[in-house]
Structure 1
């Protein structure tokens, strides 16, 4: 039986047949010259074909390696871009937090502080979406799954979108489940997916419009429905709304904002949880409906994976804090915020100076940037841990890099916690306050 799927075997058969023809011609008393010539032609054709196959294989390998190199370069560029953008955002966010503490000094300060805070949050969200899109396409997003309540997913998402809704003077109606229903998933990532859908609904709904989110259980699945009475989706765009960087028609003012990433990230995250997202719209100016469908968890109590530190705002004890930060604006504003909360703060502008100050062993907490001149944050914490054998400070790493491997490297180096810029003051104070019970 011929093996049609193996070209190499077929070529071997053709060569043997040609050789047999030469042998039979010679045995029959002929010269076999015609048969030999045919054999030589066949061998030449096979050699050329083999060379073409080798060249094609080499070309395919080069293309694969080129694509992989471009993907690595893209990921490295996006990570660096995020780092460079987060660095100036950090002191702006700190300054906004400082303004919040003195809003009584002038009637316009609350409004100014609100504008700055909202725009900092918006910028940070755009950076996160951009990085998440890159990580998802390269398969680098991992989930920390546990059994979580669907209502908690809704509450987290509402916290994120509330400022956007209020700014646009829209009405937000939320209908949580009457009973506790659990899903197996990553609380942070599922909340991110739902908040992306809600932010998109708000973005394309006029001021004073309506956005609603409701949930219901159907069999072994939870359906989360997000509706709005906004501009709707044209029929020709409807099949493409979840494509990366795909956006509908925009005005020259681009008042809606965004990069065309949020819906793509939401879809990918929901599908990673074994769910799906559907979208429906009757057309222009007729609003939109997005439905997230998630499987109900089989069993298990609520988990704590992905839980954030308690947002405590003050510590019951004054802590001596060493802040190592090479950006003077970031260091100065964070120092003021910590001192206003009752702590004593010393600032070092580079890694070597930070290690020198830390060696007296009198600090309770070390807050250290990773990207420092001379000696980076990994080297700083390594030397601190080695030198201070008895009294070890609680160490918090702060960085503009937010990849999972960055956090893992910091923890392995000796840090107790890793925070990505811009860091919320409440988060830092909560971590410090938590040490009172230690």
Structure 2
């Protein structure tokens, strides 16, 4: 094959005309329009080059003899499913008859130009063909992206099943122990601590799923203010310190004594650094090192979480922040998680106008995660007084009703509320709840939303329409936690929205507010 010019393989135009002179003239004509074309000696060479990639094919009618036609047709049929390769046939007089022939129709995406061809007609036809071909390449990229996303989703579902089974196994074991023997007080205490850890782990997994969904769909609003970033980092360190200590790792915190401020959501930024520290601990061996440092210039604050762990391959430094991305390798597979933690980190950092990136010298060489945020001028004064109200006020033994069609969920929550000092009762459906409320007039009602028959929304509507129950505090307790779910719940007559399972601190603080 004689290549007059070079071009990207996927956008080159392949030519096979009657004579080499015709081919040279066509190549020259197309070059004047900025189109790169390559000549093919025969049908066999044309078919071979088509298999390697092309933007369009220009062939003479004479090429489509019995042997040449078969080779071109086979090359077209061997194209991938997304491909509809444009073919331009330079025909002799009587192009109309050729255009309607069955042989031409089988070639697919064909344009017939009658010879002698005008320069403008040939250039225009080829440009249109290349434009259509580029759209096909875009479709190919989209399909490849969808296939990759589908593969990641499949892997994610398998990982999620694995991650949820992990805490379920010790929970079932503990239940079997309790049901078959009477554990000693020490053993019962150890079993309780273990079960609490596993339930907390499951809650964190579900929370991460819900959180990343909210953030990536833009359904989260930051509560921003001017904050000292060092304080946020210290808080995140204290949250993750027990994990790092339990893993027998060394933690070094290097924060300048002078405060540096950013405009941000304190809770969300603490979440960012907690996730990064959890990741660092997860992939760093026992007795390994984790270091947190902060520095800044006039415009940017940088926080780095540096570990001596198993590192990240160079080709994964960018993709590691993608949704459901898992880094292969035995050690990482053991602690793989759901592959959404770093996606959440990146989304939250970008919502703050910053960026996060990873660097690593390679496998077993550790990882550095760098968060950069815009710096702002410090305020003149700050008021950070706060009170968590974590102690239950037992002075007022309030009547509390738990409404849930799941009997185990209702009974266990009622028992917990009793331990917290409430006078708790249960109802296992909407109709029963209304009857209990009319007779006992509870101060607070925890109501499940997704009940059969009369659901939680209907219960709330009927309570709000009853004068004698109008003062009841209604708390929705549900597994639905999107912003739209919360908005609908609060607009339906509920005073508060809690996501299952509610922890004891949240229940304590909430009940204290009604005492």
TM-score over 0.5 (shorter chain): yes
The question of 1:243 aligning with 2:355 is answered no
Q: CA deviation at 1:308?
A: 10
Q: CA deviation at 1:140?
A: 3.0
Q: CA deviation at 1:181?
A: 4.0
Looking at structure 2, the residues matched to 388 and 296 of structure 1 have their Cα atoms a distance apart, in angstroms, of: 53
Looking at structure 2, the residues matched to 163 and 413 of structure 1 have their Cα atoms a distance apart, in angstroms, of: 41
1:325-381 deviation digits (Å, cap 9, x = unpaired):
222222222111111122110101111211221224631111111112211112111
Give the secondary structure class of the aligned counterpart of 2:222.
coil
**1:354 counterpart (433, 438, 442):** 433
1:122-161 deviation digits (Å, cap 9, x = unpaired):
2222223233333444333332323334245335433543
**Residues 180 and 275 (structure 1), Cα distance of their counterparts in 2 relative to 1, 3 Å cut:** same
Q: CA deviation at 1:322?
A: 0.8
1:238-286 deviation digits (Å, cap 9, x = unpaired):
2322122222223289321312211121011101100111222222222
1:213-243 deviation digits (Å, cap 9, x = unpaired):
2333432432222111111222232232212
**Contact 1:310-1:427 within 8 A present in 2 as well:** no
Looking at structure 2, the residues matched to 395 and 302 of structure 1 have their Cα atoms a distance apart, in angstroms, of: 35
Looking at structure 2, the residues matched to 182 and 266 of structure 1 have their Cα atoms a distance apart, in angstroms, of: 19
**Residues 129 and 303 (structure 1), Cα distance of their counterparts in 2 relative to 1, 3 Å cut:** farther
Map 1:284-323 → 2, pairs under 5 A: 284-298=363-377, 310-323=389-402
Higher relative contact order, chain-length normalized (CA < 8 Å, sep 6+): 1
Give the secondary structure class of the aligned counterpart of 1:172.
strand
**Residues 245 and 230 (structure 1), Cα distance of their counterparts in 2 relative to 1, 3 Å cut:** same
Looking at structure 2, the residues matched to 356 and 156 of structure 1 have their Cα atoms a distance apart, in angstroms, of: 47
Q: CA deviation at 1:390?
A: 7.0
**Residues 303 and 392 (structure 1), Cα distance of their counterparts in 2 relative to 1, 3 Å cut:** farther
Map 1:357-368 → 2, pairs under 5 A: 357-360=436-439, 362-368=441-447
Aligned residue number for residue 225 of structure 2? 146
Looking at structure 2, the residues matched to 431 and 414 of structure 1 have their Cα atoms a distance apart, in angstroms, of: 17
Give the secondary structure class of the aligned counterpart of 2:251.
strand
Map 1:362-377 → 2, pairs under 5 A: 362-377=441-456
What's the TM-score, normalizing by structure 1? Answer: 0.70
CA RMSD of aligned residues (A): 4.0
Looking at structure 2, the residues matched to 359 and 178 of structure 1 have their Cα atoms a distance apart, in angstroms, of: 60
**Contact 2:463-2:470 within 8 A present in 1 as well:** no
Q: CA deviation at 1:405?
A: 0.9
**2:275 counterpart (187, 196, 212):** 196
**Residues 390 and 242 (structure 1), Cα distance of their counterparts in 2 relative to 1, 3 Å cut:** closer
**1:107 counterpart (183, 186, 190):** 186
Q: Which is worse superposed, 231-240 or 146-155?
A: 146-155
Looking at structure 1, the residues matched to 268 and 353 of structure 2 have their Cα atoms a distance apart, in angstroms, of: 13
**1:278 counterpart (342, 345, 357):** 357
Give the secondary structure class of the aligned counterpart of 1:254.
helix
**Contact 2:464-2:470 within 8 A present in 1 as well:** no
Aligned residue number for residue 430 of structure 1? 509
What's the TM-score, normalizing by structure 2? Answer: 0.61
Q: CA deviation at 1:207?
A: 2.4
Bigger radius of gyration among the two = 2
The question of 1:174 aligning with 2:246 is answered no
